[in-house]
């Protein structure tokens, strides 16, 4: 008894502990029901599921406002899907949705609300959001129409967004995705890496008289962004010999006005946003200024409108019609019940080539966590490792492993009904390749089929494709600002749903802090300042190798 009391007397342990004591989702009957479904379905092949239900496509596909998701090639059937949908009820998804939409501080570790949905609510957006958008619109028009000019009176021809993470990946990805909608006579560039090999060659191509720098940083404390911004400022001043040129060539996007001003950016050039806009959900806010400059104001509004359409769907659609929830449930199914540890995003669109990188932050920085909302361990697998590449390039690198590597590798194929850069002889072949891959991954090829196709007997084992790789196919009718807005909001809400299902706070990112602190301690040591005595042997050896010195 004393021992038991002793255990209960231990203060509540946090996620550094390895034991698991909680009332978690996996203790819920809805989870147990899914375990039974998985037990039943694990041995089944997609070939079998398709032969048992020839109408799988209509049973396992959903469409909203022109965007289609086909998940018939996922390893589920109707009872499993119903059991997954029941899990969202058990996890209280609707209540969490309402809390987010009511502006409650659901990012509890930072005491912040999560209100990015309001950034694209159109006329229903809060006054401050509408004012912020109005200001961005005026600024875009001043740049596009040549009212805002450089210090020498020249028009702005180049815009450089300096930011990292959420202050870079979203705008960078959207600007590339919508390059077919680009404004004439204005090029938008991106600098993010601390490595000077990012900014140096870009500056070498730019004209200081016609370049506008956007310093995008929510906190205005991020090392990479401040280092690059300082380099850009020094370059501008050195090449113009004018300290005050900064007022015509630098604007800031930040929630830290004081630090932006301290850097030297005049108050009138600061576009502020609130702390309830999370970094990786911020492209809809003033952080999207580089997007609006690139594609024009009307197109930026259409991007917001597309996201709004998906928001309305997510908020109102029942679980069995809800696209973001369905994507979340499929990822949970593959991760927690079929044992997948990665998720590939494969856009068959060169314009969407940066989508995987953007989604890596969105999904992994949000849900790559093992600390539950209450500070106890989650104790089940959470965010899979997200990766990907534009098709067809991926086919000629890693698809071999997809087909015959022996691991379960779920993926999303994304394709466009119409090409954004139509040229004869391309799009039909591109679509055919995408559909061929998802079919080959799902159904594979048996030894019998290989033999019947004329494969010499000694090569038959090499030509067997086990198949049964789960995938979802997403079709956008075209790649436009509106459809891209829909697609991105789809993934944002997927991330929210998974956070609720795994009982995580999807909106903080404490995991990136430790490395930042250590880097600050190591920087002077690499310059020969300070003692290496307290440093671990490996890091010390590496510092000595890099500096060529023994301290």
- The catalytic residues are 365, 396, 516
* Structure tokens given for 439: 């079919």
Which of residues 150, 165, 444, 481 is near ligand F6P by CB under 6 A?
A: 165
Site for ligand F6P in 230-259 (CB under 6 A): none
Distance of alpha carbon 410 from alpha carbon 113, whole angstroms: 32
What's the min distance (Å) between Cβ of 26 and ligand F6P?
A: 28
CB of 222 to ligand F6P, least distance (A): 3
User: Does 280 help bind ligand F6P (rule: CB under 6 A)?
Assistant: yes
What is the nearest approach in angstroms of ligand F6P to the Cβ of residue 290?
13
How many residues bind ligand F6P (CB under 6 A)? The answer is: 14
Interface residues for ligand F6P in 52-111 (CB under 6 A)? none
Site for ligand F6P in 213-232 (CB under 6 A): 217-219, 222, 225
* 163 or 296: CB nearest ligand F6P: 163
Among 166, 444, 481, 485, binds ligand F6P (CB under 6 A): 166
Q: Indicate whether 2 belongs to the interface with ligand F6P (CB under 6 A).
A: no
Conformational region of residue 530, where left means phi above 0, alpha means psi within -120 to 50, and beta covers everything else: left
In terms of Cα–Cα distance, which of 202, 363, 338 is closest to 280?
Answer: 363
Question: For residue 70, what is the DSSP state?
Answer: E
The rounded distance, in Å, linking the Cα atoms of 181 and 35 is 47
- Report DSSP state, residue 106: -
Q: Which of 526, 487, 527 is nearest to 174 (CA)?
A: 487
Asked whether 286 and 236 are in contact (CB, 8 A), the reply is: no
Position 512 contacts ligand F6P (CB under 6 A):
yes
Q: Which of residues 381-420 bind ligand F6P (CB under 6 A)?
A: none
- By beta-carbon proximity to ligand F6P, the closer residue of 217 and 480 is 217
Instruction: Give min distance, CB of 304 to ligand F6P, in A.
Output: 20
Question: Quick one: tokens of 420?
Answer: 């954004």
Which of residues 72, 161, 167, 349 is near ligand F6P by CB under 6 A? 167
Name the strands in the sheet holding 471-476, side by side, starting at the edge strand that comes first in the sequence: 61-64, 67-70, 471-476, 411-416, 342-347, 385-388
Cβ nearer to ligand F6P, comparing 177 with 362: 362
Contact 323, 67 (CB under 8 A): yes
Please choose, from the candidates 250, 252, 219, 220, the residue with its C-alpha nearest in 3D space to the C-alpha of residue 233.
Answer: 250
* DSSP H stretches of helix in 409-512: 427-443, 447-452, 481-501
- Binding status of residue 279 toward ligand F6P by CB under 6 A: yes
End-to-end CA distance of the chain: 56
Window 355 to 374, contacts with ligand F6P (CB under 6 A): 365
509 binds ligand F6P (CB under 6 A): yes
Least gap, CB of 362 to ligand F6P (angstroms) = 10
Site of interaction with ligand F6P (CB under 6 A):
164-167, 217-219, 222, 225, 279-280, 365, 509, 512
């Amino acid at each position: 008894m004393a021992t038991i009391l002793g255990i209960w007397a231990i203060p509540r342990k946090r996620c550094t502990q390895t034991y698991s004591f909680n009332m978690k989702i996996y203790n819920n009957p809805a989870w147990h029901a899914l375990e039974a479904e998985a037990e039943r379905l694990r041995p089944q092949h997609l070939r079998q599921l398709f032969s048992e239900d020839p109408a799988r496509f209509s049973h396992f596909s959903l469409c909203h406002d022109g965007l289609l998701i086909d998940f018939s090639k996922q390893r589920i059937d109707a009872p499993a899907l119903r059991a997954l949908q029941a899990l969202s009820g058990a996890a209280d998804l609707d209540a969490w949705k309402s809390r987010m939409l009511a502006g409650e501080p659901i990012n509890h570790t930072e005491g912040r609300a999560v209100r990015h949905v309001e950034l694209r609510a159109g006329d229903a957006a809060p006054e401050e959001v509408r004012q912020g958008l109005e200001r961005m619109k005026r600024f875009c028009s001043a740049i596009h129409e040549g009212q805002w000019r450089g210090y020498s009176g020249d028009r702005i021809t180049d815009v450089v967004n300096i930011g990292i993470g959420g202050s870079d990946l979203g705008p960078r990805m959207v600007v590339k995705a919508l390059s077919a909608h680009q404004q004439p006579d204005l090029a938008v560039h991106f600098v993010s890496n601390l490595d000077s090999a990012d900014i140096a060659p870009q500056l070498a191509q730019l004209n200081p008289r016609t370049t506008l720098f956007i310093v995008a940083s929510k906190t205005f404390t991020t090392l990479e962004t401040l280092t690059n911004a300082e380099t850009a400022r020094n370059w501008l001043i050195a090449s113009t010999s004018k300290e005050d040129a900064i007022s015509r060539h630098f604007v800031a996007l930040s929630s830290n006005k004081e630090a932006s001003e301290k850097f030297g950016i005049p108050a009138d050039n600061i576009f502020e946003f609130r702390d309830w806009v999370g970094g990786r959900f911020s492209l809809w806010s003033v952080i999207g200024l580089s997007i609006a400059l690139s594609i024009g104001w009307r197109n930026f509004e259409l991007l917001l409108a597309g996201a709004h359409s998906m928001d309305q769907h997510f908020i109102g659609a029942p679980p069995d019609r809800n696209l973001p929830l369905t994507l979340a449930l499929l990822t949970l199914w593959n991760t927690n019940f079929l044992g997948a540890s990665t998720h590939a995003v494969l856009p068959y669109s060169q314009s969407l080539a940066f989508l995987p990188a953007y989604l890596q932050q969105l999904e992994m920085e949000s849900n790559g966590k093992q600390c539950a909302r209450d500070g106890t361990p989650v104790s089940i697998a959470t965010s899979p490792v997200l990766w990907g590449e534009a098709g067809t390039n991926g086919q000629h690198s890693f698809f071999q492993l997809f087909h015959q590597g022996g691991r379960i590798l779920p993926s999303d194929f994304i394709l466009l009904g119409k090409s954004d850069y139509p040229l004869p002889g391309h799009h039909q072949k591109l679509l055919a390749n995408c559909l061929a891959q998802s079919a080959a991954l799902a159904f594979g090829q048996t030894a019998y089929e290989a033999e019947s196709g004329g494969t010499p007997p000694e090569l038959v084992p090499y030509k067997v494709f086990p198949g049964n790789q789960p995938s979802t196919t997403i079709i956008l009718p075209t790649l436009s600002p509106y459809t891209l807005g829909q697609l991105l909001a789809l993934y944002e809400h997927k991330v929210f749903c998974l956070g609720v299902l795994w009982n995580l706070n999807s909106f903080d990112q404490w995991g990136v802090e430790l490395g930042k602190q250590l880097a600050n301690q190591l920087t002077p040591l690499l310059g020969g300042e300070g003692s290496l005595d307290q440093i671990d042997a490996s890091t010390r050896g590496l510092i000595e190798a890099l500096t060529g010195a023994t301290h």
